[in-house]
Structure 1
Amino acid sequence: MSILVFGDSNSHGTVPLAHLGGVARHPPAARWPDVMAQALGTSIICEGHPGRTTVHDDPIDGAHKNGMRALPALLESHRPLDLVIVMLGTNDCKARFGLRGWDIAAGVGKLAQVVQASNAGPEGRTPQVMLVAPVPVEEAGVLAEMFQGGRVRSRAIAPALRDEAARLGCAFFDAGRVAQVDMTDGVHMAADAQAALGLAMADAVAAMSKET
């Protein structure tokens, strides 16, 4: 099985930040996509871009953070893909965007529709899609002001995204059920949370495969 993970810094493996501008990552074997791949015994392509939004140009960090701009090219360059896992929405919780949980889920849904309209699957078919509600954020540490209001916004994503996934015929997983952010910055996961998410995602993908 060939799997593309399309995500942000928590898929990239960014460690909790003690100061702004940090670029350290967990080692590859500790990042949740790699933990998942190891458990499944399959290949993984992780496209985790720190700061990536669902469908929004970031007025401060740049238009290249917009997931909608990046996804079509990635689908073409990495095909054939059996499964595309989208775990985005955390950066949409930044105060600068002023979005509600429903808006964020709708943005993820737009990305799912791009995958569903593609020929990036085996023999030109459509890949399967799993939408993952990201781990809810806390307003803590150096990112507290940037994510002001994010605690409430992020907790509204999962129920809205569950409905969006059902509407689009996608699989759904709520990362907040098995992992949590580190209070150092309230946004990124420590190694134990990365591992817990990776193992839970492996179970979810395996269950999904049995159903098809």
Structure 2
Amino acid sequence: MKRHVICLGDSNTHGYCGAQEGETLCGGRFSEAERWPCLLQRALGEEYLVIEEGLCGRTTVFPDPLEPGLDAISYLRPCLLSHTPVSLLILMLGTNDTKERFGLSAEEITRGMERLARQAMSEDCWGPGGPDLLIVAPPAIRPEVEHSPVAAAMGRGCAEKSRQLAEHYRRLAARLGARFLDGEGCELNRVDHMHLTQAGHAQLAARVGAVLSDPATGTLGQ
């Protein structure tokens, strides 16, 4: 059996395709030749099955009062059980939690990620011997978002909270004994300033692949 790798995330895992500078948002999706989980599959090879679990608007554990069914904690257990045995779970979430309507601080968002991560690592999901865990801090939302087409949806303060997540997630991963990757520097589009470009997807896939192939982090479980 192949080693199963689940990429659980939001629109940047789904592959939401924001347009480039000078264009409007198209609301489409990058192709299988462009999305970072698909590129990761290509890099890992035939011994692995990379499973895309990206949902636009997904949060860590906080229910959205306007869009039901978007919190990852509600979906986590059935997702993991559907794809068991899972060798690696990659969590890249937190961007949507920064929306002003949630009223959350970066510390509170991190507590949500911790709850999600601990649930994933708990034995009641599948019994002894759960998956390895990689926590990815999403690229920080750019301040220009407040003058973008998504300004009303995101609200004020999201860029600053997003910028703070990486260090909080780094400390969380250390506490949990999980792997960590900071996605900062992966290219974002210049329309909404929060979604990966085609180049950004390729950059993120390369970084995740490098973390997984680093001997210092060990081999994947199961």
Q: TM-score, normalised by structure 1?
A: 0.91
Structure 1 residues 34 and 208 mapped into 2: Cα distance closer, same or farther (>3 Å)? Answer: farther
Report the alpha carbon displacement of residue 124 of structure 1 after superposing the two structures with TM: 5.0
Question: What amino acid is the match of 2:96?
Answer: N
Whether the 8 Å CA contact 2:133–2:179 is kept in 1: the answer is yes
Alpha-carbon displacement from aligned partner over 1:60-82 (angstroms, at most 9, x marks no partner)? 112x0011101110010010010
Question: What amino acid is the match of 1:90?
Answer: T
User: Max radius of gyration: which structure?
Assistant: 2
Give secondary structure in 2 for the equivalent of 1:188: coil
Aligned match of 1:83: 88
Greater Cα shift, 77-86 or 102-111 = 102-111
Report the alpha carbon displacement of residue 120 of structure 1 after superposing the two structures with TM: 5.9
Question: What amino acid is the match of 1:40?
Answer: L
**Superposed counterparts of 1:190-205, under 5 Å:** 190-205=197-212
Give secondary structure in 1 for the equivalent of 2:61: coil
Structure 1 residues 10 and 207 mapped into 2: Cα distance closer, same or farther (>3 Å)? Answer: same
Greater Cα shift, 70-79 or 101-110 = 101-110
Alpha-carbon displacement from aligned partner over 1:89-138 (angstroms, at most 9, x marks no partner)? 010011111211111111111111111104667x8521111111011112
1:32 to 36, 43, 64: 36
Whether the 8 Å CA contact 2:77–2:125 is kept in 1: the answer is no
Unpaired runs of 5+ in structure 1?
none
Do residues 149 (structure 1) and 154 (structure 2) align?
Answer: no
Report the alpha carbon displacement of residue 183 of structure 1 after superposing the two structures with TM: 1.7
| Deviation >6 Å, runs of 4+ | none
Report the alpha carbon displacement of residue 165 of structure 1 after superposing the two structures with TM: 0.9
Aligned-residue RMSD, C-alpha: 1.8
Aligned match of 1:174: 182
1:108 to 113, 134, 137: 113
CA distance in 2 between counterparts of 1:7 and 1:33 reads: 11
CA distance in 1 between counterparts of 2:108 and 2:50 reads: 29
Aligned match of 2:218: 211
Q: Give aligned-pair identity as a percent.
A: 33
Aligned match of 2:56: 50
Give secondary structure in 1 for the equivalent of 2:59: coil
Report the alpha carbon displacement of residue 144 of structure 1 after superposing the two structures with TM: 2.0
Unpaired runs of 5+ in structure 2?
none
How many pairs align?
207
CA distance in 1 between counterparts of 2:123 and 2:81 reads: 9
